[in-house]
């Protein structure tokens, strides 16, 4: 029954967007977590999305949901700031700040929230279509 | 003797195809942020003409080739032509897909209304009131 697959597909999207929202929240929260060594500094994290092709092939259906393959850390250079009064400052008075781009994260958050809304609307519309089908002949 | 299927006309197939199409569009919307994903859809007119035509070639075995493109469900699924290129090779236009989903849902409702009318009519005829 195709309409029930819609819930699976939209549900996978809700899950993926939630992971994206979580990484964004984590990045924003740690945007100013300074540390004294570059190895210990927080790095921006991003989820990697991919279509759920294998599951779709197994169930003999053409439509595929979305899955999170994993979370990667950004390779962008860390920010190095001169703050001799900071408790985590090294001998030269420098601290390392995470490579989080706050503006990018904000845009990411809005995009994730819009995609989440769209999936909810798709589920709602499918629910109404199914309910209508159940009323057939009444 | 005509069967009940004939009385229902093309509407049951149309309803099933609408449900199938809603699944495809939901998948496009779910993958709106997936890099490299290509949006897909069925050409409703083409698939439906094949479904409803009396001269349809029946596939009685899973290994028989479809007259349309290859897919397990027998529908020809095509890639959507993107209106503009995107940096991550994703061809989903979320707004267009939402519009297509809404359009599909409305047409599903139309098919449902027609089918329901046929069934109500048959029930009235059976009761003979």
Residue B18's Cβ-count burial label (10 Å; 0-12, 13-18, 19+) is buried
Distance between CA atoms of B97 and B103, rounded to whole angstroms?
A: 10
Closest to A129 (Cα-Cα) out of B118, B73, B105, B102: B105
Q: Does A88 touch chain B (CB under 8 A)?
A: no
Angle value at C-alpha A60, between A62 and B98, nearest 5 degrees: 25
Model's pTM, two decimal places? 0.82
Tell me the pLDDT tens digit for each residue of A102-138: 999 999 999 999 999 999 999 999 999 999 888 887 7
Torsion of CA A64, A70, A71, A76, to 10 degrees: -90
What average pLDDT does the segment B24-35 reach? Answer: 92
What is the distance in angstroms between the Cα of A32 and the nearest Cα belonging to chain B? Answer: 28
Check whether B69 has a pLDDT greater than 50.
no
pLDDT over 90 for what percent of chain A?
57
What average pLDDT does the segment B12-20 reach? Answer: 88
Q: Does A116 touch chain B (CB under 8 A)?
A: no
Contact between A19 and A25 under an 8 Å Cβ cutoff? The reply is no
Please name the residue ranges forming H helices in chain B. 4-8, 11-30, 44-52, 94-127
Q: Does B68 touch chain A (CB under 8 A)?
A: no
Which residues have CB under 8 Å from A111's CB, separation 6+? B33
ipTM of the complex: 0.82
């Amino acid at each position: 029954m195709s309409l029930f697959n819609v819930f699976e597909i939209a549900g996978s999207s809700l899950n993926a967007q939630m992971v994206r929202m979580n990484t964004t929240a984590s990045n924003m929260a740690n945007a100013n977590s300074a540390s004294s060594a570059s190895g210990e500094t927080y790095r921006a994290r991003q989820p990697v999305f991919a279509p759920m092709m294998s599951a779709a092939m197994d169930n003999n259906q053409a439509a595929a949901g979305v899955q999170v393959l994993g979370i990667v850390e950004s390779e962008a250079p860390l920010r190095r700031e001169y703050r001799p009064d900071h408790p985590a400052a090294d001998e030269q008075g420098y601290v390392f700040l995470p490579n989080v781009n706050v503006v990018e994260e904000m845009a990411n958050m809005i995009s994730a929230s819009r995609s989440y809304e769209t999936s909810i609307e798709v589920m709602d519309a499918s629910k109404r279509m199914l309910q209508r089908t159940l009323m057939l002949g009444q | 003797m005509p069967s009940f299927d004939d009385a229902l006309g093309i509407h049951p197939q149309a309803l099933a195809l609408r449900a199938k199409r809603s699944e495809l569009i939901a998948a496009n919307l779910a993958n709106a942020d997936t890099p490299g994903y290509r949006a897909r859809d069925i050409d409703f007119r083409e698939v439906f003409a094949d479904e409803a035509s009396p001269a349809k070639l029946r596939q009685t075995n899973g290994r028989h080739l479809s007259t349309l493109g290859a897919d397990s469900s027998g529908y020809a699924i095509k890639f959507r032509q993107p209106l503009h290129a995107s940096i991550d090779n994703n061809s989903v236009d979320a707004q267009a897909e939402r519009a297509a989903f809404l359009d599909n849902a409305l047409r599903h409702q139309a098919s449902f209304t027609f089918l329901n009318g046929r069934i109500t009519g048959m029930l009235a005829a059976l009761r003979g009131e």
